[in-house]
A and B are shown apart, each in its own frame.
Chain A
Amino acid sequence: MSLTEVRPAPPGEPKHAPPPRGRYWWYRFDTKAVPYLLIAPFFLLFAVFGLFPIIFNAVVSLRTWRIDEPDNRGWAGWENFSRLLTDEDFWNALGNTFGIFVLSTIPQLLIALMVANLLNRKLRATTWWRVGILLPYVTPVAASTLVFAMFFARDYGLANWFLALVGFGEEEPIDWRAAKWSSWIAIATMVNWKWIGYNALLYLSAMQSIPKDVYEAAAVDGAGPWTQLWRITVPMIQPVILFTVVLSTIGGLQLFNEPMLFDQNPASASGGSDGQFQTIAQLIYKVGWKDLNLGYAAAMSWALFLIILIVAGVNALATRRLGGDK
């Protein structure tokens, strides 16, 4: 707080000298209209390509809207939504989405916490480590998923080879795509791989702003590194944890790329021979652009949005509870 700030500006004094008379119109235009011109592109573009589609999506979801029948655009009312209730594909995809979501989010955030805790020490080549853990984040999902598809191949796959080395499934290698549990694990592995480093950096930045004397006080009571992590660090960075929980909920429930490209035949969007790893986002794509039923796809995306809102809300509450907030 410097002394100069204390002195208040004399009231009523104009901020700057009036401009020369000839340029007065320009000056008025510049101060009154130009600010709006500067923000206009954002609002215009967002209105057309962001907001309008979302509102229009609601309209489409209440109508019959098939790509192959351009003349058939009647109101369907709640038909598209009521159909969801008895659609086995929808419930199957919902179950898969949640299964993969749980298998990916929990390990992802826990491991990120551990990695951040390691990075939050005095290290040589600090920047090098931080940049290094971002390699998965910049790698295109389309590329890495194809690698993982090979990694989790039944024959000649590295995962099965490794499991055989430690004595599992030597006689009968795991067909990773065939069953729900195995395909979920494979897909969750891809998601975890991609996002751990990113989350670790978010945690690290929060950890570094924790004052050191908080730890010193705890050290007097004999708190070891493990106790420090769970009793001090985690509660202190709780807002960021909450943030990552909500973020990974939104991302996890919209999972699309990994299940698409893990499939033997990506174009089908069927999520395995029997839909064992078909997610909601994938089903929306299939219903809309393979079955050509955009109305129903729109209804499904609204349902997904509501589910995301509910789950993100519940997760946020649960995380607060864990952190010991009121």
Chain B
Amino acid sequence: MVNRAPQETRGNWKTYAALAAFMVISAFPVYWMFVIATSTDEKVMGFPPTVIPGDQLLVNLGEVFGMQDVYFTASLINSVIVAGVVTASTLFFCSLAGFAFAKLRFRYRNALMVVVILTLTVPNQLGVVALYILMARLDWNGSLLAVIAPGLVTAFGVFYMRQFIGHAIPDELIEAARIDGALTLRIYWTVVLPAIRPALAVLGLLTFVATWNDFQWPLITLGGTDFPTSMVALSDLASGNYVIYRRVLAGAFVATVPLVILLLIGGRQIVRGIMEGALK
């Protein structure tokens, strides 16, 4: 083999074999979720374990959605509401603030940006007890408000938008709009928003995935209520002395499908977002 830079080396069959093996391992749990979700109890408890999908998907789904004590349909709708509102709000507020930090001149701009970056480093979990007490004072515990409110805006989103807007929109464009007499909000709406669609897509996808998958805080604030998010409903499904796995995993599969669809639609953008240094 000639020694060249890895970027210049063509992948040989070993490369493809190794990558394919890694892909199989990555995909297997999701595939197996589907297998169990389509199987009967005998298949699930059989030996050797089943690895081929069965034909019971509709039966199992019917059971999950028809249960009396866990309202799975409602929890899915709740997840859609929470992730939808949080994503929309994050995109709006973060792009507003990112625009201000990237393109507007105002006093203490740099100092305030440093504050934003510092808040990136604070783990939310540190405040979880006090956040619960705060929500109790507001009487929001047990309602979707408690899950939505802390996610409405993120420091990461502001930082990401500022970086993107700084690079993507030339100052001249904004100056030109000003000379035409446009006020700041109008510039945001007609110049900035159309130009940052790719960044909105990336931040939106990442936010939606993270919010949909969040488990700990919804469990704390919605645990024990009749209408939690789908992640909490899943943990309810898996609690108890006798767990019916085909039912649990049918629910898990339903809660996973929207994200897999998002990955298929926006995979290219998500990859780019992560590779450009996006986190969480």
Interface residues of A (CB under 8 A from B): 15-17, 19, 23, 26, 30-32, 34-36, 38-39, 41-43, 45-46, 48-57, 59-60, 65, 115, 117-124, 127, 129-144, 146-151, 156-158, 161, 193, 197-198, 201-202, 204-205, 207-208, 210, 212, 214-216, 218-219, 222-225, 228-229, 233, 247, 250, 254, 256-257, 260-261, 265-267, 281, 284-285, 288-289, 294, 297-298, 301-302, 304-305, 308
Contact = CB atoms under 8 A, between A and B. Distances in A.
Nearest to B157: A42
Contacts of B234: 140, 142-143, 146
Contacts, number: 329
Residue in A39, A136, A193 whose Cβ sees the most chain B Cβ within 10 Å: A39
B252 A146 contact: yes
Interface string B45-71: 111110000000000000000000000
A263 B241 CA distance: 12
A139 B209 CA distance: 9
A286 B30 CA distance: 30
B90 to A, nearest CB: 10
A41 B223 CA distance: 29
A123 B11 contact: yes
Contacts of A135: 26-27, 30, 260, 263
Contact of B44 (A34, A149, A156, A308): A156
A294 to B, nearest CB: 5
Contact of B252 (A115, A142, A224): A142
B216 interface: yes
Contact of B32 (A15, A54, A133, A151): A151
B150 A50 contact: yes
A307 to B, nearest CB: 12
A24 B209 CA distance: 45
Contact of B100 (A15, A38, A216): A38
A143 B127 CA distance: 26
Contacts of A54: 122, 126-127, 130
Nearest to A32: B106
Nearest to A111: B22
A140 B268 contact: no
B6 A142 contact: no
15 contacts: A32-B106, A39-B100, A41-B152, A120-B7, A122-B10, A134-B267, A135-B27, A139-B256, A140-B259, A143-B33, A146-B248, A205-B275, A207-B6, A207-B7, A266-B239
Given A121-B11, A215-B6, A225-B6, A138 B259 contact: yes
A237 to B, nearest CB: 12
Nearest to A59: B130
A41 B179 contact: no
Given A41-B93, A45-B93, 4 more contacts: A34-B104, A42-B94, A130-B267, A140-B215
A266 B106 CA distance: 51
A80 B115 CA distance: 31
B76 interface: no
B271 A308 contact: no
Contact of B179 (A16, A118, A260, A304): A16
A266 B231 CA distance: 13
B93 A42 contact: yes
B4 A143 contact: no
Q: Which 5 A-B pairs have the closest CB atoms?
A: A53-B127, A131-B267, A215-B5, A219-B3, A143-B252
A175 B126 CA distance: 34
B93 A201 contact: no
Nearest to A199: B274
Contacts of B105: 31, 35
A128 to B, nearest CB: 9
B126 A57 contact: yes
Nearest to B241: A265
B252 A118 contact: no
Given A41-B93, A122-B8, A135-B27, A56 B130 contact: yes
B159 to A, nearest CB: 10
A157 B49 contact: yes
Contacts of B94: 42
Given A142-B231, A143-B252, A302 B126 contact: yes
A131 B262 CA distance: 11
A223 B3 contact: yes
Contacts of B268: 127, 131
Contact of A147 (B101, B131, B249): B249
Contacts of B245: 146, 150
Interface in B224-280: 231, 234-235, 238-241, 245, 248-249, 252-253, 255-256, 259-260, 262-264, 267-268, 270-271, 274-277, 279
Nearest to A227: B3
B119 A256 contact: no
A52 B8 contact: no
Contacts of B183: 26, 30, 34
Contacts of B271: 127, 130-131, 134, 201
B91 interface: no
Contacts of A205: 274-277
Given A133-B26, A281-B216, A267 B6 contact: no
B110 interface: no
Given A16-B178, A35-B100, A135-B26, A147 B3 contact: no
A45 B49 contact: no
